[in-house]
Structure 1
Amino acid sequence: MNDTATEIRSVIVEREIAFPPEKIWRALTQPHLIQEWLMKNDFKLVPDHRFKLTAEWGSVDCRVLEIEPNRTLAYTWDAYGLESTVTWTLTPIGSGTHLRMEQAGFRPDQEQAYQGAKFGWQRFFENLEQVLARAD
């Protein structure tokens, strides 16, 4: 049996955004801003805090795993049998910030969830950039 059957995949989205890491960090960690670009939530920037993201289609159970202010944020993302981890990495660059999001943990039998995430995160990133453009 080859290892590709147990291959765990990730969805990765990377963008260069013309705002400083501190501003993007606020959009990633303040509940009212998270709601504008992602989903309704009861997020708190506290290690091990359990929170829910809710949308019309259902909800995602999450738990804060890692906090490194203005640099790294990671949390679990569990929904409909998918147990994954979302990691945000913010790297300062000359023109602003290189923002990287990786959602890791898609099993081979979760093709629909994988394709949905690939599509969904592109939209979430567009929403995030709109929120950043108008947020103070």
Structure 2
Amino acid sequence: MTQTDTETRSVVVERDFVHPPEKLWRALTQPHLIEDWLMKNDFVPSPGHKFQLRGEWGGIIDCEVLAIEPDRSLSYTWNFANDDPAYALASVVTFTLTPNAAGTHLRVEQSGFRPGQKQAYGGAHAGWKQFLGKLEETLAGL
């Protein structure tokens, strides 16, 4: 089975945290905490709010909040403009929080990778694992 140009793939990274959903939610929605584990930002937890994530590497990711269900799910666009189509990305990131016996199961899905974006896809997979490691450190400090 071959992928057509219109088919996209998703990166999914999941992790269990020993913290309640409310604590994870704070880290996912408060700008100073988002900066601590992800990137500098001007995030506001309101559907339709447009914001930017600014990487230390100088890149800017344009985003828009799509949906919010407090302590349960958050999704926003993740659009990175680049002259190289292998790296330019129009995607959606969705965080899903599920309470469990240990604390919270977090599922992060970034959808919208086109067939020719193998490096961007691999980079996102590695990047989200690294970001979630930083998120664990942020949560431990709260």
Q: What letter corresponds to residue 101 of structure 1 in structure 2?
A: V
Task: Please show how residues 1-136 of structure 1 align to structure 2 within 5 Å.
Answer: 4-6=3-5, 7-57=7-57, 58-80=59-81, 81-135=88-142
Identity %: 59
SS of the counterpart of 2:43?
Answer: coil
SS of the counterpart of 2:71?
Answer: coil
Q: Report the number of matched residues.
A: 134
Q: What letter corresponds to residue 25 of structure 1 in structure 2?
A: W
> TM-score, normalized by length of structure 1?
0.95
> TM-score, normalized by length of structure 2?
0.91
Indicate the structure with greater strand content: 1
Residues 92-135 of structure 1 show CA distances to partners (whole Å, capped at 9, x for unaligned) of 11110010000000001111111110111110000000000111
Structure 2 unpaired stretches of 5+: 82-87
Distance 2:12 2:124 in 1: 10
Structure 1 unpaired stretches of 5+: none
Q: What letter corresponds to residue 38 of structure 2 in structure 1?
A: L
Ranges of 4+ aligned residues in structure 1 off by more than 6 Å: none
